[in-house]
Structures are given as C-alpha cells and as structure tokens.
C-alpha cells in the first residue's frame, strides 16, 4: 500500500529536497503538485500537475497533502485539506500562533485525520539518538541547553522579511532550536522566558532574536535565531551526569552527509541519510495504520506557545 501525496507549492524546499523525498520514499507516491506556475510543478515529476492549490486538495486520488507555502498560508490550507478529508504534513512553523495550532489539531482530531508539523530534523537518526539518550537519563537530568541557527543573506522581496506573511528569524529558523529544546526537557509547559532581545528590520520582522529561558531552579536555555549573523548552527546540552554536543555546522540541517554526536567525549557516527525521506516514510506509515514516529502534537503546541511568548516579549 502507498499514500498518494499532493504537494502545495513548488518553491525552493520542494525543488531541492522534498519532491525527491516523495519520489524516493517507500510507501509514498508523488501524486500531484499544485503551483501558480504549472510548468514548475510539472518539472518535479508528479503524476499530475495543477496550476492551483485547491485542485490538489479536490483531487480524489490524493490521500494526504504536504503544505510548503509561506507561513501565513499554513492554517488556511491546513483547514481546507482537513475539511476535504486529507491527512496533512505542513512545513514549520505549523501555524502563526498557539491558538491557531490548537484550532488545527482540534480539527484534525474531529475529522479523524493525521496532522504533522514537518520539522524534518527531528527525524534525523542523530536527533533521534539525542532524544533517546535524554529520555534514558544517559546524561542525567538536563539543566542547560544551547541552540542556535543563524545565517546572513535573506534577499529583499523575500516573504521572510514581511511581517504579514509570517516573516522573521524566529519563525523561520528559531523553530529548529526550539524543537530541540522541547524534545530535551520532560515538561515543556514549565518553560518561562527570562530575557529576550530582538533586532528588527525596518519592516517590523525580527532579524535576530536571542532569548534565555528556564524550566526550573538552576536551569537555563539559550536560543538564538538570526538572518544577519554569520552562518552557525549549534545544539549542546549539559546534564547532571554528562554532556551532549552536535559538532560541526549542521546541527539542524544534516542532509545526505555524515554526521556525529559527542557524548562526554565519545563520538558516535551517523551515515549519510535523507531525513526528509525518513519523514515522508514515517508519516506515510502512520497514515497507513502502521507503527511509525511523527512529531507529537504536544511538541508542536509547545513550540507554538514558546514562539508566542518570545515574539511578544523584549
């Protein structure tokens, strides 16, 4: 059995990574792509290409929809897809607010459908291993976390610089270290903001957000997201009995390349993988009634709540 996927959008992430993941994934087929430019959709090799997103959702041969549109378009198309009886995999951030995320998951539950945030790095075997180590108390009780994702060079005219379209560094790349954080501590609802600093674009979006949070006495998390700082990715955490580091500069974007994880000086190596493909395979498995791992709604809701807190403070 296979899941027939429809894709909304033919932008950079679809062209460079996710279309290939749907083609390569076991248990999945790229049934349809909708794009404003039908030729761009056709070039990615679906069974059928459309020049509208609605046509994909209305296609009776589409079982599930992957949404790869600008952030402001996520909730409307999540709702449309769920109302049409389609399972949904939606790019991060799932929605623009915690309230919207609650609405989306409530509708999915009401319709008996799967809704998953496509925080693709969570499916990488290295990140899965980190979660396993933390869950098994491999480094004791975690009390410190550092996560950063920064790069320089968002071009003018890009939706990431438009506040009404869900732009800003926090929503674009801050989601990655926040997902790492909620995967690391036992109760994300205990997180509280200590301090947050934004450096803003003249249009109003944050070009850099740096924040300190805590989830109990003696704990600290440091999150940095930026469109203007030098390219850098970091995930490191310290526990009562050890430390875990993701070395290199690919903590959240390791793709088809070897990677490593260091636990108290011991290096664990991971073979090159396509975590996008793993994501598609796992989500498809769950849709088909099998056993697979997907980002839990609890984690997506926790990240949405943190994004709300960080955007409104500082």
Reading the block at residue 300, the tokens are 């997506």
Q: Is 92 a catalytic residue?
A: yes
Structure token digits, residue 308? 């709300």
Find the catalytic residue in 87, 92, 98, 160: 92
Burial of 68 (0-12, 13-18, 19+ CB in 10 A): buried
Rounded Cα–Cα distance for residues 64 and 59 (Å):
10
d(CA 89, CA 207): 27
Rg of the chain, C-alpha, whole Å: 19
Please answer whether residues 204 and 167 qualify as being in contact, where contact means their C-beta atoms are separated by less than 8 angstroms: no
Neighbour-count burial for 28-67, b at 16+ CB within 10 Å, e otherwise:
bbbbbbbbeebebbbebebebbbeebebbbebeebbbbbb
Question: Catalytic site residues?
Answer: 92
């Amino acid at each position: 059995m296979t899941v027939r996927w429809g894709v909304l959008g033919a932008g950079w992430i679809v062209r460079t990574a996710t279309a290939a993941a749907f083609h390569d994934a076991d248990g999945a087929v790229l049934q349809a792509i909708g794009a404003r430019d039908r030729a761009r959709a056709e070039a990615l090799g679906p069974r059928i290409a459309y020049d509208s997103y609605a046509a994909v959702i209305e296609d009776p041969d589409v079982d599930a929809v992957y949404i790869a549109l600008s952030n402001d378009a996520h909730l409307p198309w999540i709702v449309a897809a769920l109302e049409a009886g389609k399972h949904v995999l939606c790019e991060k951030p799932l929605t623009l607010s915690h309230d919207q995320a609650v609405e989306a998951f409530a509708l999915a539950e009401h319709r008996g459908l799967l809704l998953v945030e496509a925080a693709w790095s969570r499916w990488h075997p290295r990140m899965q291993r980190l979660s396993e180590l933390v869950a098994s108390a491999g480094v004791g009780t975690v009390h410190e976390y550092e996560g950063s994702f920064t790069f320089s060079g968002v071009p003018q005219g890009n939706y990431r610089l438009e506040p009404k379209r869900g732009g800003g560094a926090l929503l674009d790349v801050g989601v990655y270290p926040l997902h790492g954080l909620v995967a690391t501590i036992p109760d994300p609802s205990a997180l509280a903001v200590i301090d947050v600093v934004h450096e803003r674009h003249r249009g109003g979006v944050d070009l850099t957000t740096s924040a300190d949070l805590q989830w109990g006495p003696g704990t600290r998390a440091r999150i940095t997201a930026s469109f203007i700082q030098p390219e850098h990715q970091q995930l490191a955490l310290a526990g009562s009995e050890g430390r875990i580091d993701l070395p290199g500069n690919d903590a959240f974007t390791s793709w088809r390349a070897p990677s490593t994880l260091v636990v108290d000086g011991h290096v664990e190596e991971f073979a090159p993988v396509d975590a996008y493909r793993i994501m598609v395979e796992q989500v498809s498995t769950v849709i088909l009634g099998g056993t697979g791992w997907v980002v839990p709604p609890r984690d997506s809701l926790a990240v949405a709540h943190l994004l709300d807190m960080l955007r409104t403070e500082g």
